[in-house]
Amino acid sequence: MASIRRTLSPYQDRSHQNGGSSSPFSLNSPSHKHSRFDLGVPRFIHRKVGPYRTWMRSVYSCMLFFMIGFLLGLAPFGEFEDVRSRDFSFPPTLDVKEDIVVDKVELTVENTKDYFARKQLIVITPTYNRPLQAFYLNRLGQVLRLVPPPLVWIVVEMNVASTETADILRGMGIMYRHLVCANNLTNIKDRGVHQRNRALEHIEHHKLDGLVYFADDDNVYSLQLFESIREISRFGTWPVAMLAQSKNKATLEGPVCNGSQVIGWHTNEKSKRLRRFHVDMSGYAFNSTILWDPKRWEKPTSGLIRQLDTIKEGFQETTFIQQLVEDESQMEPTPLGCSKIMNWHLHLEALELGYPKGWLLQKNLDAE
């Protein structure tokens, strides 16, 4: 069998034999620069890379991942509804006559009287200092408190508004106006006439809209009276029960009615039979617009409507009413047929009262 033996190269490097640094087995020898691990690897891998190329490589990577994500987002993974093909119109209305039967509905309102606006009552009360003044004012005020609003109570005093009267009015809890008549008492024949005129001036100046009623503080009133006054349109009247001065009999003064018409008058005093209208001061009421809106009612007089102090006592009522109406045809019986007595004029004023010894009476309103 033939054998092949490779002969050594005739060139021998002496330096390697002496253990020099150029030994073929040294790491620094040329043979180690191209070992078997370097076979097939491009030479540019071992090339030194600069900072510019590193930055460009990062940009290319970001762009690559962005494009991949964008393409994945456009991929049709589910079903999509075409909005343009959808109908957004309202559903068709139902034909009530053909499809739906509605039962009959009845609406009823109970006690409809409370749903209508009430007319305002303007109650005028002249007052003055006397032993029972506080009693009279408190009694009348307690009655007015029970009257459903709107109501305004006009109280008129002479010369000065007393603090005692003001305290009574404030304690009533109703709307009021405290007025003063500053006329000279030496030229006054009837104090009440001037006090009522002061209230009429106030109503005319402020154009208060309502029904005016003269309520003296010493009379007795029922609640039905004030409800009946609210039914008046222009001028209403009713009979008043009066206790004679002798206090031994009672009489009626006011209209005699036949349904909705005034056909006569009640009167028992011979001295008053000459009056045109036999009415007590608390036996009538009228619309306040007659005072400040005369064109609406075509009142018989064109001047100011006031009570007169220059005429005989007992004729103030009839002369004042003649400025409001022309005759009985413009009057409204209250209530219908004048069938009820709703207030009383009793003449129970005490001229002389004896107080217990040691009491101090201040302005006839408070006793200490």
Omega before residue 76 within 30° of 0, cis:
no
Contact between 124 and 215 under an 8 Å Cβ cutoff? The reply is: yes
Q: Is 218 annotated as a binding residue?
A: yes
Alpha carbon distance 349, 128 (integer Å)? 13
Both structure tokens of 201: 């001036």
Report the catalytic residues: 317
Tell me the C-alpha to C-alpha distance, in Å, between residue 185 and each of 132, 175, 189, 247, 321. 22, 29, 8, 30, 26
Crossing angle of helices 133-145 and 163-172, rounded to 10°: 20
Burial of 340 (0-12, 13-18, 19+ CB in 10 A): middle
* DSSP secondary structure letter of residue 9: P
- Whether 300 and 319 have beta carbons less than 8 Å apart is answered as no
DSSP bridge pairs for 252: 241
- Which residues are known binding-site members for Mn(2+)? 218
- Which residues are known binding-site members? 218
